[in-house]
Amino acid sequence: MAETLADEEISENAPAEWQQDGDEIVRVYEFEEYLDGVAFATDVAEIADEEFHHPEIQVRFDEVEVRLTSHEAGGVTDQDIEMAGRFDDVR
């Protein structure tokens, strides 16, 4: 099982726009158009399904909030950090 990262490791390795919130990392992506946010959420979900590692995705009128944690490990792991970067790449 993957090892959870210490707060300092998360801070050093998470992509710039991501924040730590307890046992999760989170980013809110802003969109002008609601359907653009929905399309982005679908892109995120496709990556998550490929990797079998699933974020919490909240689609709102003008933003999409994505939260990552490794449930089985009980915190943030390298896989969450890597996924965050992949989600940023499809923004």
Ligand X SMILES: C[C@H](O)[C@H](O)[C@H]1CNC2=NC(N)=NC(=O)C2=N1
What residues line the site for ligand X (CB under 6 A)? Answer: 52-54, 69-72
Q: Give least dist CB 34 to ligand X, A.
A: 25
Minimum CB distance to ligand X, residue 33 (Å): 28
Tell the smallest beta-carbon distance from residue 28 to ligand X (Å).
Answer: 18
Give the residue from 27, 53, 29, 50 showing the smallest Cα distance to 40: 29
Q: How many residues does the chain have?
A: 91
Toward ligand X, which CB reaches closer, 32 or 72? 72
CB 19 within 8 A of CB 85: no
